[in-house]
A and B are shown apart, each in its own frame.
Chain A
Amino acid sequence: MRTAFTSSAELLELVAADGRPLPEWMVAREAFMTGRDEAAIRDEIARRLTITRTALARGFKEPQRSLSGLTDGAAARLHALAEPPVRDELWNRALAYAVAINEVSACGGRIVAFPTAGSSGIVPGLLWAWRDEREGDLSATSPRLQDAVAVAGAVGAVIAARATLSGAAGGCQAECGAAAAMGAGALAWLSSGDPSRVFNAAALSLKNSLGLACDPVAGLVEVPCVKRNAFLAGNALVALTLDSAGILSAVPFDEVVSAMKAIGDMMSPQLKESAEGGLAMTPTGLRVKAAMEAGFPDAPRS
């Protein structure tokens, strides 16, 4: 089996030549690359999906509070909002779910790096919101939900091949930006089953997060990361909406990813996870840093 690709164009050619749908081909590729059978790959996808659902439930049930106090149960408040100003349940769930999962990550809970810990709420938040709002019969063991994960993985794999999925190497465009593109692609698959729409939705989403800095306060994966999971889940839903209307990205996905790489290379190291620029260097950011260096003397102790 030919498993190597460095662009979505190449990937889609391989998939077309093979004849199986994109996610099935991705699962077969994983089985081939790791010497396991396809059922084992699907079981592992199901296990990872279940871990994200457990984190999601925990984020609502046990409002998360971090040692720094920067994470303080925002998901639970978001979920309890009685009259959300935007009245769409898919939208509202996606935002709350993304934050819930990422708050659990920020507070030392068990999550799946999706593709990283700092962006771990976006894709599963979108998938579970879709499930709860649109297809309530789906579960972690449903091939359809597993397919959506495989499609998200295909989008992420192209970004990793042409650019990076590391904030230290490419800024937050490579973490939350990449996650949103993955999520937009996964939802485009669920709503259309069309692989070209996957990469159109991903291109639309990624274009809108190019240049995003990774400037976390005190180097902690909390500010702006946790709330950004909600914003970028929203970004993915906007991309999905545009794609559903047949609006095409003028710049194709592979070129957008190359642009992301070029921008990442141009970005100062101060804006790439070093906590030496941007929000990290604001008076507030520096205060949190000083508190951390003193061992968070004001933090509640368990």
Chain B
Amino acid sequence: MSAPALFDVIGPVMIGPSSSHTAGVARICFLARKAFGERPEKARVTFHGSLAATWRGHGSDKAAFAGLLGLHPEDERLSFARELAAREGLVVDIVADKEGGAHLHPNTLRVELEAGGRKLSISGCSIGGGAVRVENVNGFPASISGELDAVLVRHRDRPGVIAGVTGILAEAGVNIATAASRRNQKGDEALLVVELDGVPPGSALAEIRALPEVLAAVHLPSVVS
């Protein structure tokens, strides 16, 4: 492997004590909250593997509360995020699944959010040094690092949707770093994940939402400051 960038060695800026069990959890839960787009009424976070064993000592629960409150992973309020959540009426059910998940990465968590009948389920793993990978969004396989800004588009699997989305981003002058689309089956619902080299303007999001066959579109901000 070639040498990484300077700030991959000296960083991230984070709330201790563990880059994989605190910073990584805060990042995944922050991404889940942004993907959901609003404060959930009900939330459940399930820790698997090594996280299930050590979450208490590593403040992984506080990290989860902070992320679900929409606090940036660098925000020091993480250390009293449980109290903040209680004040805001956000209830999060923390589940440690020590037995299951043997086939998963040892630092995997699952985040399930619910509000007004809408549901979101995200699974991700903390792969070391605070880096994360969101691997599943509502049953669709994905690979989102959170390093870059991204747009998530839920759409019907019809010709031209992806071209419509990328065309709007091109018009807005935002470069696409990666793009991946997954569908359940032909013609059914699909999820398009586009990672960007910049912040997409709100007007571009509105245009994407107005495209025919688009069911929803959200902006996932970068977790890196």
Query: Does A108 lie within 8 Å of B62, measured CB to CB?
Result: yes
Which A residues from 1 to 60 make CB contacts under 8 A with B? 3-6, 11, 26-27, 29-30, 33-35, 41, 44-45, 47-48, 51
A157 within 8 A of partner (CB): yes
Query: Does B9 lie within 8 Å of A44, measured CB to CB?
Result: no
Query: Does B3 lie within 8 Å of A117, measured CB to CB?
Result: no
Query: Does B4 lie within 8 Å of A161, measured CB to CB?
Result: yes
Q: From B5, which residue of chain A is reached at the shortest CB distance? A: A33
Query: Does A11 lie within 8 Å of B16, measured CB to CB?
Result: no
Q: Which of A3, A48, A168, A182 contacts B11 (CB 8 A)?
A: A48
Q: From A32, which residue of chain B is reached at the shortest CB distance? A: B5
B222 within 8 A of partner (CB): no
Contact A35 to B53, CB < 8 A, known contacts A113-B130, A117-B17, A166-B128: no
A274 within 8 A of partner (CB): yes
B22 within 8 A of partner (CB): yes
Which B residues from 60 to 112 make CB contacts under 8 A with A? 62, 74, 76, 78-80
Residues from chain A with a CB closer than 8 A to the CB of B8 are 160
Residues from chain A with a CB closer than 8 A to the CB of B13 are 47-48, 51, 110-113
Residues from chain B with a CB closer than 8 A to the CB of A295 are 56
Q: Which of B3, B10, B16, B197 contacts A115 (CB 8 A)?
A: B10
Residue of B9, B19, B128, B130 with most chain A CB atoms under a 10 A cut-off? B9
B168 within 8 A of partner (CB): no
Query: Does A150 lie within 8 Å of B57, measured CB to CB?
Result: no
Query: Does B16 lie within 8 Å of A120, measured CB to CB?
Result: yes
Residues from chain B with a CB closer than 8 A to the CB of A302 are 80
B54 within 8 A of partner (CB): yes
A240 within 8 A of partner (CB): no
Nearest-CB distance from A236 to chain B (Å)? 16
Contact A219 to B57, CB < 8 A, known contacts A113-B12, A113-B19, A117-B19: yes
Q: Tell me the count of chain B residues lying within 8 A, CB to CB, of chain A.
A: 39
Contact A161 to B1, CB < 8 A, known contacts A112-B13, A113-B11: yes
* Bound CA span A114–B58, Å: 18
Residues from chain A with a CB closer than 8 A to the CB of B2 are 3-6, 161
* Bound CA span A117–B59, Å: 14
Contact A274 to B16, CB < 8 A, known contacts A114-B10, A160-B8, A166-B128: no
Residues from chain A with a CB closer than 8 A to the CB of B15 are 108-111
B23 within 8 A of partner (CB): yes
B129 within 8 A of partner (CB): yes
Query: Does A44 lie within 8 Å of B16, measured CB to CB?
Result: no
Q: From B16, which residue of chain A is reached at the shortest CB distance? A: A105
Nearest-CB distance from A69 to chain B (Å)? 11
Nearest-CB distance from B84 to chain A (Å)? 13
* Bound CA span A104–B15, Å: 9
B18 within 8 A of partner (CB): yes
Nearest-CB distance from A182 to chain B (Å)? 8
* Bound CA span A275–B15, Å: 22
B136 within 8 A of partner (CB): no
B14 within 8 A of partner (CB): yes
A116 within 8 A of partner (CB): yes
Chain B interface (Cβ < 8 Å from any Cβ of A): 1-20, 22-23, 50, 53-54, 56-59, 62, 74, 76, 78-80, 128-130, 197
Closest 7 CB pairs of A and B: A105-B16, A156-B9, A219-B54, A157-B3, A161-B3, A220-B57, A4-B2
List 28 A–B pairs whose Cβ atoms lie within 8 Å, in order of A's numbering: A5-B2, A6-B1, A27-B6, A30-B7, A35-B197, A45-B10, A48-B11, A51-B13, A67-B57, A105-B17, A108-B15, A108-B17, A109-B79, A110-B16, A110-B76, A111-B15, A115-B10, A117-B17, A152-B10, A156-B10, A158-B3, A160-B1, A219-B58, A220-B54, A221-B17, A221-B18, A222-B57, A274-B50
